[in-house]
Structure 1
Amino acid sequence: MDNCTPSISVIVSTYNSEEWLEKVLWGFHQQSYRDFEVVIADDGSGPRTKDLIGSMADTVFYKILHVWQEDEGFQKSKILNKALKACRAEYVIMTDGDCIPRKDFVEVHQFNKAAGHFISGGYFMLPMNISQLITKEDIEEQNCFNIKWLEAQGIAKKFKSAKLTAKGHVSKFLNSWTPTNASWNGHNSSGWKADILKINGFDERMQYGGQDRELGERLVNSGIKPIQLRYSAICVHLDHKRGYKTEASIHKNKFIRKEVKKTRSSWTDYGLIKK
């Protein structure tokens, strides 16, 4: 696969979170669909992350590209744009370094991709104790997607467990029934690279708080339609602190999204191509 272009590029964002990133990379090593590369969008991590990626690259079947930038605070939009440019495939899945993909994750995105559309996937949130508990063997055996195993570890029973248990017609029904809008989610979405380039990628003014959804809103404004797969394309979300979450960034991002909605714009002057 090193010498040929993969059919899918998976962008995984990370920042100084080696323990979680390792679990995510093992998750991609279990995938049923294997014609993909992983592009690490690294927002300024230290040498431990580089060492982990080097070690994993020698072990997993897929090619890993490491795209890094200096640590200047939370600048995820900037590193995602850099990673996007590095992607070799025409179709791109975006997820985070705290989301372990189920073994059919890439396959579901690949099977459902369609011209003029993007895919909005789902996640199942895990508490910190279970996030830490998950081993490489649990990922290989897919225990972390088994609701019985999770309940044995103490997770509460709730309706959202349907994300892990729904299959076939049931998952299709739930995808169409859910009242949740199909938005571009940083943890689990995919689309055509050309469509994302056409709207100039992520708005680099935006820090934490809806910068991924803003991209999806501009995709919709450009005529791209979302496909809801939150009960079919599944990852488990590992718990972590959010020290980068600030009122200022959330307020600024809300203002930018309000303008996008008001003007129905699809282009940003602050993306891949600068004014």
Structure 2
Amino acid sequence: MDILSYLCISVRQSAIASGRAFELEWLIAHGLKKTHKMMKLGTWGAVARILNIMTPTKATWNGHNASGWRKDIFAANGFDERMQYGGEDRELGERLFNRGIKSKQIRYSAICLHLDHARSYVKPQMLIKNKAIREHTRVKNVLRTPYGIEKLA
């Protein structure tokens, strides 16, 4: 669960544009519950590096805050376009991992806030299809999708 899942307020565009919505004090003043997750917003430098090392989560490729070298993304052929919402970023990351590219844990160094929203477009059959593609990528050690940037002729 992300940090703003604990925040049940309306965030106005002006608060986002001004940057106030990304300040810990502003979030607390507008209803953010105080938890250990607040450390993600309030640590920098050496403390953030230490927390990145100590975090119990695995470093994975997540599209909300992921980046990579262009040559590596092209080598994996980008996103698998058969996939719909839910996991396409992780599947690309799995192909990158299969290529020997390691993820870097930056949980406390590169902060993202997610404004929660309904996902009425997500259907169970989409998730089943996506899960099957991800499983195939893992089991078969897929390095490159034929359904990405460059299409099969």
Fold equivalence (TM over 0.5):
yes
Greater helix content: 2
Instruction: Decide whether aligned partners of structure 1 residues 134 and 172 sit closer, same or farther in structure 2, where only a CA change above 3 A counts.
Output: farther
Matched residues in 1 for 2:68 and 2:36: separation? Answer: 29
Q: Which runs of 5+ in 1 are unaligned?
A: 1-122
Q: Which residue of 2 is the match for residue 107 of structure 1? A: none
Q: Which whole-Å deviations, capped at 9, do the CAs of 1:211-257 have from their partners, x for residues lacking one? A: 10000010111121111101111121112111121111111111111
Compute the displacement of 1:176 (Å).
1.1
Percent of residue pairs bearing the same amino acid type:
48
Contact in 1 for aligned 2:15/2:21 (Cα 8 Å): no
Contact in 1 for aligned 2:44/2:109 (Cα 8 Å): yes
Count of paired positions: 151
Q: Which residue of 1 is the match for residue 125 of structure 2? A: 248
Contact in 2 for aligned 1:208/1:246 (Cα 8 Å): no
Q: Which residue of 2 is the match for residue 64 of structure 1? A: none
Matched residues in 1 for 2:54 and 2:12: separation? Answer: 31
What SS does the aligned partner of 1:191 have? Answer: coil
Instruction: Output aligned runs, 1:1-275, within 5 Å.
Output: 124-126=3-5, 129-130=8-9, 132-136=10-14, 139-140=17-18, 142-275=19-152
Compute the displacement of 1:192 (Å).
0.9
Contact in 1 for aligned 2:7/2:32 (Cα 8 Å): no
**CA RMSD of superposed structures (Å):** 1.8
Matched residues in 1 for 2:22 and 2:50: separation? Answer: 20
Matched residues in 1 for 2:122 and 2:20: separation? Answer: 31
Q: Which runs of 5+ in 2 are unaligned?
A: none
Normalising by structure 2, what TM-score?
0.89
Greater strand content: 1
Instruction: Decide whether aligned partners of structure 1 residues 186 and 138 sit closer, same or farther in structure 2, where only a CA change above 3 A counts.
Output: closer
Compute the displacement of 1:208 (Å).
1.6
Contact in 1 for aligned 2:4/2:32 (Cα 8 Å): no
What SS does the aligned partner of 1:273 have? Answer: coil
Compute the displacement of 1:148 (Å).
2.1
Normalising by structure 1, what TM-score?
0.51
